[in-house]
Amino acid sequence: MDSNRIIIFDTTLRDGEQSPGASLNVSEKVEIAHQLARMKVDVIEAGFPISSPAQFEAVRRIAAEVDTTIAGLSRANEKDIKAAADALHPAPKKRIHTFSSTSDFHILGKFGHDRYGKSLSEKRNTIIKMSYDSVKYAKTFVDDVEFSAEDAGRTDLSYLAEVIEAAIEAGATTVNIPDTTGYTFPSEFGKKIAELKKRVKNIDKAVISVHCHDDLGLAVANSLAGIENGARQIECTVNGIGERAGNASLEEIVMALRVRKDLVEYYTDILTTEIYNSSKMVSAFTGIVVQRNKAIVGDNAFSHESGIHQDGVLKNRDTYEIMTPESVGISKNKIVLGRHSGRHGLKARLEYLGYKLSEEELDNVYEAFTELADKKKEVFDDDLRVLMGDEVHKTDEVFELEYLQVQSGSSSIPNAVVKIKSGEEMYEEAAIGDGPVDAVFNAIDKALNINSEVESYQVRSVTSGREALGEVLIRIRNGEKSFMGRGISTDIIEASAKSYLSALNKKERYLKENKDLNEKEDLSQAI
C-alpha cells in the first residue's frame, strides 16, 4: 500500500452511537453504513456484537450487505471475540477489533480483583497475556485483527510498548493507540506515536492507528499529529459524535488533509462530495443537531456575513474560502419537490441524498411525502431527510400517537387529551399543564402510568417559511441512561407529543434488548 495513504476507520455506528441519548435502530444503522461505503470509508466499525442482540444483528446485517471492510468490537475475552466473529461471518472483508485497558487508572479501576494479580506489576502482566491471547484467538477466525490499548494516551510509554509488541507478536495487523479520555496535547501524542515506532521492534508488521476523543477539543489535532509521526489509520466519526465530547470528526480530518496537500503528502480515498449527505443523514437519525458554526458541515461553514467578506468572495472566492461548498457535497442546485412530484421524482431525489430504498420503504415515505406536500407547498431536502428518519426506519414502535386534542389560550388553563395505541391496547387520558406541551406530556404520563424526567426539550424549524416542518428533540432520563426522541409535524404541539413517544419507544427498545444481557452479563466488568 502507498505509505502516504491514510486508512479511514469510521466508528460512527459504534463509538458514535455511544453519544449520550443517541440510539439507532438496526435499519438506520444499515442505511448509514451504505452511505459510509458510498463515501468510500475503508473500515466501518458496525458495533459491539456481544453487547446486545440488536448490536449483534446490526453488525451481521451490515456484514452481509455492505461492501467494505466491516469491523466488530470485542473485549479481550473469548466470548466477546466469538460473538464478533459470528456477527461478522457474512462479510467478505472483516476485522475483529479487540481491546484491553492499559493505563494504571484503568487497570486499577477495572482489574482491581486479586485474580488479575496482587500488585500493579502482576496486573500489568495479566493484561499483556490477555492481550496476546485474545489476538491469537481472534486470528483463528480472521486474518485482519486490530488491537487497541484503551487509555493509551495516559499509559506509561515503556509498558504501552510492551503491550503493543505482544499484540503484534500474536498477529495483530493494526495496533490502535486511543486517547480515550481526550487528555493529551498534539505534541505529546505525536511524540508517543514516534516513540512507539522506535521502541516496538516488530512495529513494521502492523499499521499504527490513532483514535482520539475530543474532551479538550484536540481530537482532530491529535489525530493529525499521529499521522505526522507514523500512524496510517485514523478512527473517527461523522460530525465528531461519540462518547462525552465525541471523537475526531471524519470530515475535519479528511478536508484538512485535502485542503493542505501543499503541506502534507498524506491523503485519503474519501469521496468528499458525499460528506454533506453523510453528515445530514447521521444528524437526522441520531437526533444530534450539528452546531451552526461546526467546521465543514455546520450551516454557517460557507456563509459570509460581513459586507467586506461578501464583497471579497463575490470578487474572488479564494479571498475568504479555503475550500468550496461543492467539494463537500453542498450543492447550489436546490431541487424542490411539491404536491405534483411523483414517486419517481421522490425516489431519484432520495437516492441523490444517499438513501437506498426498498419498494416497501418507498411506499411508506411516498405516503408521508404526499401528506406533507398537501400541507406545505415546497418540500426541501431537509424535509425529506427528516421524513426518512421519521417514517421509513421506525421499527417495533411500542407506543403510537393515535389522537391528540389540545386547548390553550391566554386566559384558559391549557389542557390536552391523548389517545395512545400500544399493540392491541388503547390508552386515553386528559390532563392540564403549565402550557400546551406540558399538558400533552402530563396526559401521556397519565395514560401510560409513567413519570419520565425530561432532561432537554428543543424546537426548531427544519426549513424556512411559515409552513415549515417543526422538529422537536427531547431527551428523557432513565437511571444512568438517557434517550433522545424526535418528532416532526407542521404542528409543533403534535411534534412534541411524537418526540416524547419516540423517546419512550427508544427506552422500551433498549430495556427489551438489554434485558437478557443484564441478567447474564455485566458489561462494566473487564473479563
In angstroms, give the least distance from the CB of 58 to ligand KIV: 17
Grid coordinates in use for 76? 479481550
- Strands (DSSP E) contained in 67-159 are 69-75, 94-101, 145-150
Give min distance, CB of 415 to Zn ion, in A: 47
- Of 172-180, 315-323, 373-381, 456-464, the segment contacting ligand KIV by CB under 6 A is 172-180
- Residue 222 touches which member of Zn ion, ligand KIV, none, C-beta under 5-8 Å by kind: none
Q: Which is nearer to ligand KIV, 88 or 301 (CB)?
A: 88
Q: Which three cell numbers stand for residue 361?
A: 420503504
Among 74, 102, 148, 505, binds ligand KIV (CB under 6 A): 148
Query: Which residue, judged by CB position, is nearest to Zn ion in the bound state?
Result: 15
Q: What is the 3-state secondary structure (H, E, C) of 188-243?
A: HHHHHHHHHHHHCCCHHHCEEEEEEECCCCCHHHHHHHHHHCCCCEEEEEHHHCCC
Compare residues 70 and 418 and give the one whose CB is closer to ligand KIV: 70
Between residues 17 and 390, which has the closer beta carbon with respect to ligand KIV?
17
Closer residue to ligand KIV in complex, CB, 161/346: 161
Residue 283, binding choice from Zn ion, ligand KIV, none, Cβ under 5 to 8 Å by partner class = none
Terminal CA-CA length for the chain: 36
Q: Which partner in ligand KIV, Zn ion, none is near 494 (CB below 5 to 8 A by kind)?
A: none
Residue 277 binds which of ligand KIV, Zn ion, none (CB < 5-8 A, kind-dependent): none
- Comparison of 99 and 355: residue with beta carbon closer to Zn ion: 99
Of 61, 106, 110, 211, which one interacts with ligand KIV (CB under 6 A)? 211
Report the alpha-carbon angle 407-408-410, nearest 5: 155
DSSP 8-state code for residue 182: S
Q: What is the DSSP letter of 391?
A: I
Question: Within 10 A of 337 (CB to CB), how many other CB atoms are there?
Answer: 21
Provide the pairing of β-strand 207-212 with 233-236. parallel
Positions that interact with Zn ion (CB under 5 A): 15
Tell me how far, at minimum, the Cβ of 179 lies from Zn ion, in Å.
9
Supply 439's cell numbers.
399538558
**Binding of residue 369 to ligand KIV (CB under 6 A):** no
- In the complex, the smallest distance separating the C-beta of residue 247 from ligand KIV, rounded to whole angstroms, is 8
The listed partner (ligand KIV, Zn ion, none) that binds 74, CB under 5 to 8 Å by sort, is none
Considering all CA atoms of the chain, what is the largest pairwise distance in Å, rounded to the nearest integer?
Answer: 78
Say how many CA atoms lie within 13 Å of 409 toward its Cβ: 3
Alpha-carbon gap, residue 427 to 446, rounded angstroms: 9
Task: Report the residue from 10, 15, 31, 513 that binds ligand KIV according to the rule CB under 6 A.
Answer: 15
Q: How far is the CB of 63 from ligand KIV (least distance, A)?
A: 19
Q: Classify residue 158 as left (phi > 0), alpha (psi -120 to 50) or beta.
A: alpha
Three-state DSSP at 43 gives strand
In whole angstroms, how close is the CB of 77 to ligand KIV at the nearest point? Answer: 14
Q: How far apart are CA 406 and CA 389, in angstroms?
A: 26
CB nearer to ligand KIV: give 25 or 174: 174
The four Cα atoms 15, 16, 22, 28 give a dihedral, to 10 degrees, of -110
Q: Number of residues in contact with ligand KIV, rule: CB under 6 A?
A: 9
* CA–CA separation, 273 and 327 (whole Å): 5
Which residue lies nearer to ligand KIV by CB, 70 or 492? 70
Q: Which of residues 85-124 bind ligand KIV (CB under 6 A)?
A: 99
The contact pattern for ligand KIV, residues 174-193, with x = CB under 6 A and - = no contact, is: --x-x-x-------------
- Interface residue with ligand KIV among 31, 57, 144, 150 (CB under 6 A) is 150
The contact set with ligand KIV (CB under 6 A) reads 15, 99, 148, 150, 176, 178, 180, 211, 213
